[in-house]
Amino acid sequence: MTHGMVVAPQPEAVEAGAIILKEGGNAVDAGIACALVQGVVDPQMTGIAGFGSLQAYLPGRAIHECIDFHGKSPAATRDDMWSDLIEGETRDGFGFILKGRVNDVGYQSITVPGSLKAYAEAQEAWGRLSWADVMQPAIAEAKTGAIVRPHVYNWWTTNDGSGRVLSAERLGLTASGRQIYFNKDGSLKRVGERLNNPEMADTLRHLAARGAEDFYTGELAGHIASDMMANGGLLAAQDLSDYSTCHGKPLRGDYRGLQVATNQPPGGGIMLIQMLNVLEHFDLSDIGHNSVEYIRIVSEAMKRATIDKDTHVGDPAFVDIPLERLTSKRYAATLAALIRDGEQARVERLARVPESKDTTQVSVIDEEGNAFSMTHSLGMPSGVITDGLGFMYNGCMGVFDPRPGRAGSLAPGKSRFSSLCPTIVFRNDEPFIVIGAPGGTQIAMGVLQVLLNLIDFDMPMTDAVIAPRFSGTSTPIDVSNRIPRFVTRELEAMNYEIIRWAQSYAFGWVHGIRIDDGVWSGGADPATDGMALAV
């Protein structure tokens, strides 16, 4: 009997999800187990002190719901508290560089975490197994100690020139971090070495026994709040106890006769729907995959969605988002006409520095047709590990706009925009594609291109995630190194600035499942160490 398929960037996490399916769990059980292990084996990409967005589809129970669990700025936040510290903005508009990097690393960079609460709510509401059973693989992995994989080490040692604090400095910010991630001689642990983190195993065992709520209102919450207070953090006990996730229906659109279900703002689904609406006006298969005209058209759609995101999209509890207009077919037709006429969009930025990609994804389908997609993250991790707890906190304050009066400005209890867009595409009312990606602000751009590869060019799932990608999140067009120069030279002749990345695989790390007549095929982006596994 085939139980299901799991796709994610971490093999250990994929295996954990697959075992849960074999043991009788459903897609939600497997997805949450996978997520918990991801926080152990890839602890700067995600974890229990992170944020994210998930989508669950359980047709047998008539359930189709999203949970938004973005981090919220602590109550001590003020809209102007960093306005005099601005040094620049990331080139793709997904973060700000401040003097002293106070928003980027350390105790003031931490938003109220939502991940653990969302994991527990989803699993309790829709899973089959017990919370303790679903946590067991992560506990076992933490007890053994995760092995440093190439992708993890690459993140630790890469200097992207962004002006942000280097990853190795984050790892060594606290005494606990130095003990976990460095050898006794002070050298950073290398590929194949093991992370000894018994404190994380103890924390996970504690949460398995007492429940996730202990993180927010119990003994663990008290430990967290005391550490924050002692070190000048903004996060307080009241912030933890007040935190709540947001449950709701997916944001819906359609593309070439298929139904697209993605997440609501402040997630990136709004951008994905808008871009698909625009691109529906072009015969992309006839234009040709990654041709000069294809890259021009798709990147212009990306730029226009980016401009609208920067101007209008934020936390819907704080910002009046013109959702209906931005996702309407009529508005898309207007944008498509501008693109067809050759008008080049300009995306305004304060500075030119890139953005991080510290996020991860899990996609699952099971034998009953239940589908689960979750993208979750630490943002740019804060580097903070409370002594004795073993996990690192998110660093999501860095994405808020320190300039008051804007859609992304700081405010108490506010969530930041993120490009996270866990998505399920339906064909004839059945799941056809289950997809999502890590990749900072490039997430929606990567998911978009893989969807176009699958729908417009009918690529197999593996080919769709492997095909070279590009991005239009700023005025220049960014291209991966496998986009031919003879193509980009023609774009340059049209007065486009082209920025060629050193990476062959870039702009989101897309992981997904394609379902054709009940047959599953999975694709794991080769930029990571991940895999697709059917059991």
User: Is the Cβ–Cβ distance between 294 and 285 less than 8 Å?
Assistant: no
Q: Which of 77, 111, 359, 488 is catalytic?
A: 359
C-alpha–C-alpha distance, residues 206 and 220, integer Å? 9
Question: How many C-beta neighbours within 10 Å does residue 199 have?
Answer: 19
**275: alpha, beta or left, given left = phi > 0 and alpha = psi -120 to 50?**
alpha
Superfamily of domain 251-354+420-530: Gamma-glutamyltranspeptidase, small (S) subunit (3.60.20.40)
Mean pLDDT of 41-54: 96
pLDDT tier, 95 (very low <50, low <70, confident <90, very high otherwise): confident
What is the structure's pLDDT at 2? 78
SS3 content of the chain, % helix, strand, coil (to 5): 40, 20, 40
pLDDT in tens, 101-117: 899 899 999 999 999 99
Q: What is the pLDDT of residue 352?
A: 42
Within 10 A of 76 (CB to CB), how many other CB atoms are there?
15
pLDDT by residue (tens digit) across 185-227? Answer: 999 999 999 999 999 999 999 999 999 999 999 999 999 999 9
Tell me the Cα Rg of the chain.
21
Active site residue 473: no
Q: What residues contact residue 464 under an 8 Å CB cut-off, 6+ apart?
A: 450, 453, 454, 457, 510, 512, 514, 523
Residue extents of the structural domains in the chain: 4-79+111-247+361-378, 251-354+420-530
Q: What dihedral do alpha carbons 130, 56, 245, 96 form, nearest 10°?
A: 120
Helix (H) or strand (E) holding 140: helix 131-144
Residue 77 host element (H or E): none
| pLDDT tens track for 335-365 | 999 999 999 999 987 654 444 456 899 999 9
| Lowest-confidence pick of 183-192, 300-309, 344-353, 473-482 | 344-353
Estimate to the nearest angstrom the gap between the alpha carbon of 408 and the chain centroid.
18
Peptide bond into 266 cis (omega under 30): yes
pLDDT score at 355? 44
CA distance 272 to 421: 8
Over residues 489-496, the mean pLDDT reads 98
d(CA 81, CA 78): 5
Whole-angstrom CA distances from 373 to 9, 341, 437, 439, 484 are 13, 37, 10, 15, 33
Q: How far apart are CA 57 and CA 341, in angstroms?
A: 40
pLDDT above 60: residue 162: no
Given phi > 0 = left and psi -120 to 50 = alpha, else beta, which region is 98? beta
Distances (CA, A) of 385 to 36, 47, 177, 353, 525: 17, 12, 7, 27, 30
* pLDDT tens figures, 414-440: 998 999 999 999 999 999 999 999 988
**pLDDT band for position 91 (cuts 50, 70, 90):** low
